[in-house]
Amino acid sequence: MGKPQTSKNKQKFASEEDKEKFSNLLSNMEQYGLDLDVFYIDLSEKKQKVRFFAILILIRSIERKDIKNEETREKFEMLKAKLILVPVNDEDRSVIGYLTEDYCYFEVPDEFDKFFNSFTPSYSWRSDSNKFNAFVDQFFPQIPDKLNFSRISRDERKSVNKYFPKLINNYQYCYGLRRLGKRDGVQFHRTRENTNKAKHICANLYKKIEKSTNVSFCFSNDPQKERSECEILKQYEACGHRGNII
Is the distance from CB of 123 to CB of 1 less than 8 angstroms? no
Q: Tell me which of 34 and 229 has the higher pLDDT.
A: 229
Contacts 24+ apart (CB under 8 A), 224-227: 225/173, 225/175, 226/173, 226/174, 226/175, 227/174, 227/175, 227/176
Domain assignment present for 23 = yes
Task: Determine the Cα–Cα distance for residues 214 and 229; give it in Å rounded to an integer.
Answer: 19
Residues 100 and 196 in one domain: no
* Mean pLDDT, residues 176-185 taken together: 88
* Count of structural domains within the chain: 2
Instruction: Return the closest-CA partner of residue 13 out of 136, 127, 131, 130.
Output: 136
Residues 137 and 174 in one domain: no
Domain assignment present for 2 = no
Q: Tell me which of 169 and 92 has the higher pLDDT.
A: 92
Average pLDDT, rounded, for the chain: 78
Q: What is the pLDDT of residue 24?
A: 92
Residues 125 and 185 in one domain: no
Q: Tell me which of 50 and 151 has the higher pLDDT.
A: 50
Domain that holds residue 211: 170-238
Domain assignment present for 28 = yes
pLDDT tens for each residue of 142-157: 988 888 766 777 677 7
Q: Structure pTM?
A: 0.72
* Mean pLDDT, residues 122-148 taken together: 70
Task: Determine the Cα–Cα distance for residues 53 and 63; give it in Å rounded to an integer.
Answer: 22
Instruction: Return the closest-CA partner of residue 72 out of 136, 127, 8.
Output: 8
Query: What's the Cα-to-Cα distance from 197 to each of 38, 45, 170, 171, 193, rounded to whole Å?
Result: 13, 36, 9, 9, 6
Which of 127, 142, 157 is the last residue before a domain boundary?
142
Domain assignment present for 52 = yes
* Mean pLDDT, residues 80-94 taken together: 88
Domain assignment present for 102 = yes
* Mean pLDDT, residues 16-44 taken together: 85
Q: Tell me which of 84 and 131 has the higher pLDDT.
A: 84
pLDDT band at 2 (very low <50, low <70, confident <90, very high): very low
Residues 109 and 37 in one domain: yes
CA 156 remoteness from chain centre: 13
Domain assignment present for 246 = no
Cβ contacts of residue 15 below 8 Å, gap of 6+?
A: 1, 140, 141
- Which of 61-70, 77-86, 196-205 comes out lowest in average pLDDT? 61-70
Domain assignment present for 1 = no
Task: Determine the Cα–Cα distance for residues 114 and 220; give it in Å rounded to an integer.
Answer: 38
* Mean pLDDT, residues 126-134 taken together: 60
Domain assignment present for 153 = no
